Amino acid sequence: MEATQTYSPGLEGVVAGVSKISQVNPDIDSLIYRGYEIRDLARNTLYEEVAYLLLHDDLPTKAQLQDFQQKINSQRDLPEPVVSMLRQLPKDSNYMDVLRTGVSMLSHFDPQAQEMTHDANVEKAIRLIAKIPTIITYAYRIFNGQEPIAPDPSLTHSRNFMYMLNGEKPDDYTARVFDTTMTLYAEHGFNASTFSSRVTSSTWSDMHSAITAAIGTLKGSLHGGANEEAMKMLLEIGSEANAEPWVMDALTEKRKIMGFGHRVYKKGDTRAPLLKAMGEELCQTLGDRKWCDIANKVEEVMLREKNIYPNVDFPTSYIYYMMGLPIPLYTPLFAASRIAGWAAHVIEQLDNNRLIRPKSIYEGPKHREFVPLEQR
């Protein structure tokens, strides 16, 4: 390795860009979206308000919110060829693969797919925010032998998702909990999937290509797939009494405990306590503390043994489970939330673009004598 070059594995600590969209500041336990604290947004806004904020740089007025919601509500339907594609896929397809294919296919039916202006990108973002939940719910119902449920334009974004999934309009409390998870997942700086979307768009590629790349990145269990794996872990543990021995065995065997630790947060994910409190409230509302008690014990042991805190995926996993959401949809739900943040970053990248092209350190042979094929 040349002395003048340095390398940070995983690009940890490397500044890769300048952004006005969000800031993660673990030193003061802060996450802001365009200057607004996540605690205030999570407690007081609808997901649509947050999506508007990310795309338009400020929270909407009542009139602006109504117009934004109307745009989303009017764009939820899928082109028939996309629905036909979902019917033709193997029924055991991974839902993130389905979503990746669906978003890529939508580009063929978006009238502004190849337009690269700021306004066109905002409109494409709105359409993707509207249609991604429809892809997810249609695929789930088709794969499980049910007919898709058409979106209801009278419902908010979160309520409509739950309605399309199971045909029942959620009560106010359930809708609020789900909407809060959407807000907390909506944006988080230069994470892996967001960075991949910016790299893709930096080549002057289009919105759909960049979001397709982000979905492929989010699929990995070290990023978006962690919430699914965390719930599978809790199900395997099964009881509060089994939690401590299970975690201790896993630590001894050096198995990864899903839903814990974070590249940025060393003293705990700012979002996790908000969700943990909602989980406690949900356990109380349902009159069943099983999953909260198991989770609390796992958290206690991890803090005692490794001084590692849960990230956002840990409480989200059992909150989704208690709400009856299918585990294979947890990562697609992450994508349905993060699309607002991804799109905001793609727009920001394209508005002030420079091709992202880092260097690498070469550690291969310095010189080899070429040998003709006949002599090898």
| Whether 293 is catalytic | no
Q: Classify residue 272 as exposed, middle or buried by CB count within 10 Å of its CB (0-12, 13-18, 19+).
A: buried
Q: Which residues on neighbouring strands pair with residue 37, listed in sequence order?
A: 32
**Closest by Cα among 282, 299, 336 to 47:** 336
| Whether 171 is catalytic | no
**Can you read off the two tokens belonging to residue 72?**
């989303």
Q: Which residue has the tokens 């939690």?
A: 243
Which bin fits 123, alpha (ψ -120 to 50), beta or left (φ > 0)? alpha
**Closest by Cα among 30, 33, 85, 88 to 55:** 33
Residue 25 in 3-state DSSP? strand
The catalytic residue among 208, 262, 269, 345 is 262
| Whether 157 is catalytic | no
Which bin fits 204, alpha (ψ -120 to 50), beta or left (φ > 0)? left
Edge-to-edge strand ranges of the sheet holding 30-33: 22-25, 30-33, 36-37
**Can you read off the two tokens belonging to residue 160?**
């409509």
Q: Classify residue 369 as exposed, middle or buried by CB count within 10 Å of its CB (0-12, 13-18, 19+).
A: exposed
The catalytic residue among 77, 97, 152, 223 is 223
**Can you read off the two tokens belonging to residue 237?**
């543990």
Please state the three-class secondary structure of 183-244 as a single string: HHHCCCCCCHHHHHHHHHHHCCCCHHHHHHHHHHHHCCCCCCCHHHHHHHHHHHHCCHHHHH
Q: Which residues on neighbouring strands pair with residue 32, listed in sequence order?
A: 23, 37
- What sign has the CA pseudo-torsion 57, 62, 67, 68? positive
Active site positions, annotated: 223, 262, 313
